[in-house]
Structure 1
Amino acid sequence: MLKKIMIALGAAAIALTATACNTVKGLGRDIESVGRAGEEAID
């Protein structure tokens, strides 16, 4: 059950992120910034 909820939340987050970007280039920047934020959080 928890796994299904997490998958649904992940899919919703991806959908919201994709609709917030106007271009593929913008989506690439968003993904890059998320990766950078994750690295900073780990350090």
Structure 2
Amino acid sequence: MQKTLVGLGAILAMLTLAGCQTAQGFGEDVSTAGQVIQQESAEAM
């Protein structure tokens, strides 16, 4: 389970870095990625 979350986090990080073009966009992307990880971990429990 933990490997799945780590893999998901790595994929989200790559997409975030590839998709954002400004510091504000980066912050929004990181926030969104954090929310997705929290939701996935809550569902796993």
TM-score, normalized by length of structure 1?
A: 0.55
Tell me the CA shift for residue 20 of structure 1. Answer: 1.6
| Mapped pair 1:31 → 2:30 | yes
Residue type of the alignment partner of 2:28: R
CA RMSD across the alignment = 1.6
Indicate conservation of the 8 Å contact 2:16/2:30, yes or no.
no
Q: Distance in 2 between matches of 1:17 and 1:34?
A: 8
5+ unaligned residues in a row in structure 2: which ranges? 1-9
What is the aligned length? 30
Q: Percent identity?
A: 27
Choose between structure 1 and 2 for higher RCO, CA contacts under 8 A separated by at least 6 residues: 2
Moved over 6 A (4+): none
Q: Between Structure 1 and Structure 2, whose CA radius of gyration is higher?
A: 1
